[in-house]
Structure 1
């Protein structure tokens, strides 16, 4: 399980240090892709395989399902760590996520999210302001929060 929030900076070559706790959970090789809300998602192999299986079950006859699958898979790449625990984030993914320098790496249960620091601050401020409303909506999911 991935938990916590860490702040780092990306170097001029597009390399980012991933926290040691997250490196252990992601494994030697993992999948990095475009995420929702303007961030990047990183999945360990077993989580990616489970997600891929779910995506395969989506009906090809629905244009929204096709669009989502294209979005998710076209931005995906396999990553591995260098000796210093860094990954190289491809230019297209850095551009998508608006990553230029300061980065926030967060654990979200089964995945790691990588955010441009400014986007994370904006997103978390909006979410915090709506937390009560969001909590009321997810009560319907019977999560027992």
Structure 2
């Protein structure tokens, strides 16, 4: 399983989003059509196949609940997460509270990022991208260089 690429999509009148064919095909077989949708750290939504979500959840749930900082992180990280199942057409309903969080109205950009998919308002996504190639090059050197 590996999600990659950018895909334009549109929510229908009922707030349903069709997972693009290539992304749906990359869902791990053990996950079936079970996904988890959550708020991102940026103003976007993050979609995980259930099997990948379980790995993330286990890390977060394993934090010491008696540590105030960890409790606050757990509370904020896990708030509003929604387990969903794709319907026969590969659609799922995006909850209104999540649409509001990510400023999503109708059009979206889905971005495959390895083990997860981000769902963005196209304008917000464009604003979060690094536009300066030199800045991006320096980041690549810092992150991937020796």
TM-score by length of 1: 0.85
The reply on whether 1:104 has 2:105 as its aligned counterpart is no
Residues 123 and 66 from structure 1, CA distance in 2 versus in 1: closer, same or farther, beyond 3 angstroms?
A: same
Tell me the residue number matched to 1:9.
Answer: 10
Tell me the residue number matched to 2:123.
Answer: 118
Deviations 1:43-70 (A, max 9, x none): 1121111111111232334433322221
- Structure having the higher helix fraction is 1
- Unmatched tracts of structure 1, length 5 or more: none
- Following TM superposition, the consecutive aligned residue runs of length 4 or more in structure 1 with deviations greater than 6 angstroms are none
Residues 92 and 127 from structure 1, CA distance in 2 versus in 1: closer, same or farther, beyond 3 angstroms?
A: farther
Whether the aligned pair in 2 keeps the contact of 1:2 and 1:109 (CA below 8 Å) is yes
Report the Cα distance in structure 1 between the residues aligned to 2:114 and 2:67, rounded to whole angstroms.
Answer: 29
User: What is the CA distance between 1:17 and its match in structure 2?
Assistant: 1.3
Report the Cα distance in structure 1 between the residues aligned to 2:48 and 2:22, rounded to whole angstroms.
Answer: 14
The reply on whether 1:41 has 2:46 as its aligned counterpart is yes
TM-score by length of 2: 0.85
Report the Cα distance in structure 2 between the residues aligned to 1:129 and 1:10, rounded to whole angstroms.
Answer: 36
Report the Cα distance in structure 2 between the residues aligned to 1:64 and 1:129, rounded to whole angstroms.
Answer: 36
Give me the CA root mean square deviation: 2.0
| Pairing partner for 2:136 from 113, 131, 136 | 131
How many residue pairs get aligned? The number is 141
- Unmatched tracts of structure 2, length 5 or more: none
